[in-house]
Amino acid sequence: MTSIQPIAGTPDLPRLRHFYETVLGATQAMRVPDEGPEFYVELRIGTSTLGLVQEDKTTIGSPVRIILSADVTDVDALLPTVASAGGTVQGPANDMPWGQRVAHVLDPDGNMLNLTQRLT
């Protein structure tokens, strides 16, 4: 079976890790190395994983290369957490014609993260 895992490069791995732990409840699944400064962490978010790798040459605010999307219970309730965790809310959440409420946010490195909620 083929699978895919997104990996985000970052100049500040601890900051980005904190953002995803705070906003999406991510938990560590793997860490390299076991001790000392982190080079790579794999975070479990629900049934998915997100890799974060320390890349000192990454430029914050570079053009978006990938958009992450996370299905959450309550988009509106989560938006204040985004800013307090170091992210940026791009605007209010909106109901979409395909049955989702969506908010576009940026993580601390400027990567796009769509927070989505199924409408009932």
- Lowest mean pLDDT of 53-57, 61-65, 84-88, 104-108, name the range: 61-65
Is pTM, for the whole model, over 0.85?
Answer: no
Tell me: pLDDT of 28 over 60: yes
Tell me: pLDDT of 120 over 60: yes
> What integer pLDDT is reported at residue 93 of this predicted model?
97
Tell me: pLDDT of 58 over 60: no
Q: Dihedral sign, CA of 78, 54, 68, 49?
A: negative
Neighbour order of strands in the sheet with 27-32: 7-10, 48-54, 40-45, 27-32
φ, ψ for residue 100, nearest 5 deg: -125, 150
Residue range 7-118 in CATH 3.10.180.10: yes
Q: What is the mean pLDDT of residues 29-44?
A: 92
Q: pLDDT tens digit string along 69-108?
A: 899 999 999 999 999 999 999 999 999 988 899 999 999 9
> What integer pLDDT is reported at residue 69 of this predicted model?
87
